[in-house]
Amino acid sequence: MTPSLPKQTPPSGAPEPSGASGTSSGPGASGPAAQGAPPAPAPAGASPRRLAELRGGPDVPHKHLDARALAALAANPGCRRRALLDGAGVDKSAVAQALGSPAPFGQSQFALVRGNAFEARVKADGGEVLLALLCEQVGEARPEPAQVVVPDLTADGPAGRVERTRLALAEVPEGRWALLDHPWLSLRVAGSTAYLEPDALAVHPDGSLSIIEIKSFPILDGAADTVKAGAAARQSAVYALALENQPRAVRESALLVCPKDFSNLPAAGLLPLRKQIAATRRQLRRLTRLEEIAAELPDGLHFAPTQEPEELAAAVESVPATYAPECLSTCELAFHCRQRARDAGSVVALGRSVRGELGGLATVPDVLAAASGDPDSAASRDPAAALLRRAAALRAEALEDAAARGRAREASETGAVRDAEVG
C-alpha cells in the first residue's frame, strides 16, 4: 500500500511519519494542522496528516479510492461515513471485520483467472485486437500495427505513474494512433486524491481519446447485462472526469470489450457516457468535503481496526451514515450500518421507496403508532397519519374478510367429511 501524498509536497518542520512502505512514502503535511492546532478548512482539502490520523496513524496502510468505489460513492452521496472513511483511505473491510459485521464480498478465483486470461488475450499483440475492435465500432480505418505508439508507462509510486501517463499522452505524435495499457489517472474527490487505473486508453489520429473498459461478463447475441454495463459506464465516467485536466478531448463513448456469447473471443460495443459523466460529476460535487466532516470529529478519534471494538464502534458511530439496502452490494460497512438502522427502527432499512408516502415518519414504531391511530402518540399528528390509518383499516378489514372465508371453507370441508362418513 502506498500513501496518496504526492512527493512534491514541501516538507514542514513537523516530524516525519515513518512510512509503511519505504519506497514511496511521502513526508507529512502542511504547518498548522501538524502543530496540533484545530484543522483549518483549507481549500486544498483535508491535510494528509489529518487523514493519516483518522486512519489511526502513519503505520496504518492507506487504501486508495478506485473508480469502482467512487462510482459507488456517487450512488449514495449523502453518506458522510462512507465519504470520510473512503476519502481518508481507511480499510473499511478491516473495520467491518473488527466490528463483527464482516462484508461477505469476495471474488472467486475462477472468475479472476478467467477475467485475467481474457484481458491478456485481448491485449496481446500490442493491442492490435483492441484497436481493431475500436475502429470497427467508430468506423475509422485500422492502423498498421507498426504505426501504433505503445508507450511504456512504468514508474515508481502512484504519483509517478500519473505523471508518466500525462507525459506519454503529451508525447504522442500528431496523426498517430497510440494505446496506453493500464495508464494511471488522478482525481481530487471531496478533498482527497483518488488514483484510477483504466484498462486502456486509445489516442486517435485526430488527437482525441477513447476510454477502453475490458469486462468479463459476456455480450450475448449483441446485448450485455444492463446492470453490469451500467456499472461499467459509471466507472468509465469517473475516468472521463479524471481526464478533464489534460488537453486532449475525451470521446463521448467508451469502448466496452467483453467475451462474445459463450466463447473467450472478444466482442465490443460503445457505451455512451455523456449522461453518466454529468450525473457522476454532480454527485461527486455533492459529496461533503472531507475537511468539513473531519472538523466535526473530536481530536484523537481514529478508525484503526486494531483498537478496542467498543472504541472503534463509537468512532464509526460519530460519523453519520445514510444507510439504504443498496449499500449491501457496494459498501463493506453495510452490514454494520444495517444493524444500526434496524436497531433504530429506520424505515429506510426496508428500502428507499418505502419512505415515499410516510411524510415525516422515519421509524417503524412511529409509523405503526400513527397507523393504529393512538391519540397520545406524536406520530398521529403527522400529515401522513390519516392515510396510514386508512391503509391499516383497509388491511385489517381484508385480512378479517379472508379469515372469515377461510373459516367458512374449513367448515364446509369438515361438513363434507362428516357427510361422507355418514353416507
Partner 1 sequence: MSLLDALARMEAVACGRARPVATVRHRHLAEHPLVLVPLTTAGENGAPLGVMLGTEPSAPTILTVAQPRDRDLRFAFLGRLAEAVLPHLESCQDEVELVERKETDPESGKRVTVETELCTDAPQLLVPTGPGVDFVRLLGRSTRFRRTAEEDPESEHPAPPRLPLLGRWLSHYGERARVPGSSLLLSMTGLLTRHWATGQSQLEDQHLGALLAWLAPPEGATGAEAALRAELGRDGRGRLLVPPAGPATDPAFDNELLAPALTRYDRGVPGAEEEVHELVATQLRPTWEAMWEGAGMLRTLPEAEHVPDRWRRDRQSYTHHRDRLRAAEPPQPRKDDAVTAARKLAMREQRQAELEAQEALDDPLVMAVRRLAGEAFFAEVLEVEMAYSQGKRPSPRPLVTVHTQDAPLLTDGDKLHRRLPEGGQQRAELVEMAGPGELVLRLVNGMGRAKEPAPGTVPRKGDLVCWTLFEHAPRGGPGLPEPEETPWTHGGPPGERSAERPDPVTSEDVL
Q: Is 155 in the site for partner 1 (CB under 8 A)?
A: no
Q: Does 364 bind partner 1 (CB under 8 A)?
A: yes
Instruction: Kindly compute the dihedral angle of the four CA atoms of residues 378, 379, 380, 383, in this order, to the nearest 10 degrees.
Output: 120
Minimum CB–partner distance for residue 289 and partner 1 (Å): 30
Instruction: Supply the minimum distance, in Å, between the C-beta of residue 218 and partner 1.
Output: 4
Nearer to partner 1 by Cβ, of 297 and 354: the residue is 354
List the one residue out of 372, 328, 297 whose CA is nearest residue 75.
328
Q: Closest Cα to residue 79, out of 348, 343, 355?
A: 348
In the complex with partner 1, which residue's Cβ is closer, 188 or 407?
Answer: 407
Residue of 27, 28, 259, 305 that binds partner 1 (CB under 8 A):
259
Residue 253 C-beta: closest distance to partner 1, Å: 23
> One symbol per residue from 182 to 221: x for binding partner 1 (CB under 8 A), - otherwise; what is it?
----------------------------------xxx-xx
Of 227-235, 241-249, 291-299, 358-366, the segment contacting partner 1 by CB under 8 A is: 358-366
Q: Which among 156, 164, 193, 157 has a CA at the least distance from the CA of 180?
A: 164
Write each residue from 106 to 125 as x if it is in contact with partner 1 (CB under 8 A), else as -, in one continuous string: xxxxxxxxxx-x---x----
Q: Cell numbers for 236, please give them.
A: 468509465
Here's the x/- map for partner 1, 32-71, by CB under 8 A: it reads as ----------------------------------------
Q: Are 83 and 76 in contact (CB under 8 A)?
A: no
Residue 409 within binding range of partner 1, rule CB under 8 A = yes
Q: For residues 253 and 212, what is the distance between their CA atoms, to the nearest angstrom?
A: 9
What are the Cα distances from residue 279, in Å, to 130, 238, 243, 276, 330?
28, 10, 16, 5, 18
Task: Give the count of beta carbons closer than 10 Å to the beta carbon of residue 18.
Answer: 10
Instruction: Tell me whether residue 106 or residue 298 sits nearer to partner 1 (CB atom).
Output: 106
Cell triple for residue 182? 493500464
- Which letter does DSSP use for residue 149 in this model? E
Cβ proximity to partner 1: between 1 and 391 the closer is: 391
Question: According to CB under 8 A, which one of 350, 359, 362, 373 is a site residue for partner 1?
Answer: 350
Q: Is 378 in the site for partner 1 (CB under 8 A)?
A: no
Q: 271 by DSSP, 3-state: which?
A: strand
- Kindly state the number of chain residues that form the binding site for partner 1, as judged by CB under 8 A: 64
Site for partner 1 contains 104 (CB under 8 A)? yes
Picking from 271, 229, 112, 243, the residue whose alpha carbon sits closest to that of residue 180 is 243
Residue with grid cell 467508451, as numbered in its chain: 254
Q: Which of 286, 395, 407, 418 binds partner 1 (CB under 8 A)?
A: 395
- Contact pick of 1, 314, 344, 402 for partner 1 (by CB under 8 A): 402
Considering only 160, 325, 359, 373, the residue that binds partner 1 (CB under 8 A) is 325
The answer to whether 387 contacts partner 1 (rule: CB under 8 A) is yes
**398 binds partner 1 per the rule CB under 8 A:** yes
To partner 1, the closest distance from the beta carbon of 230 in angstroms equals 16
Among 345, 373, 374, 377, binds partner 1 (CB under 8 A): 345
In this complex, which beta carbon is closest to partner 1, that of residue 249 or of residue 399? 399
Burial of 99 (0-12, 13-18, 19+ CB in 10 A): middle
Check binding of 264 to partner 1 (CB under 8 A).
Answer: yes
Q: Quick one: cell of 210? A: 477513447
By beta-carbon proximity to partner 1, the closer residue of 16 and 401 is: 401
Would you mind telling me the total number of residues written for the chain in this entry? 423
Quote the DSSP letter at residue 248: S
Question: What is the spatial distance between Cα 319 and Cα 269, in angstroms, rounded to a whole number?
Answer: 41
Short-list 406, 407, 383, 387, CA closest to 395: 387
User: Closest by alpha carbon to 132, among 146, 120, 122?
Assistant: 122
Kindly tell me the burial class for residue 420, based on how many C-beta atoms sit within 10 Å of its own C-beta (0-12, 13-18, 19 or more).
exposed
Which has the closest alpha carbon to 370: 389, 357, 355?
389
156 contacts partner 1 (rule: CB under 8 A): no
CB 398 → partner 1: shortest distance, Å?
A: 4
The binding site for partner 1 (CB under 8 A) comprises 101-102, 104-115, 117, 121, 216-218, 220-222, 259, 261-265, 325-326, 328-329, 335, 342, 345, 347, 349-351, 353-354, 356-358, 364-365, 367-368, 371, 387-388, 390-392, 394-395, 397-399, 401-402, 405-406, 409
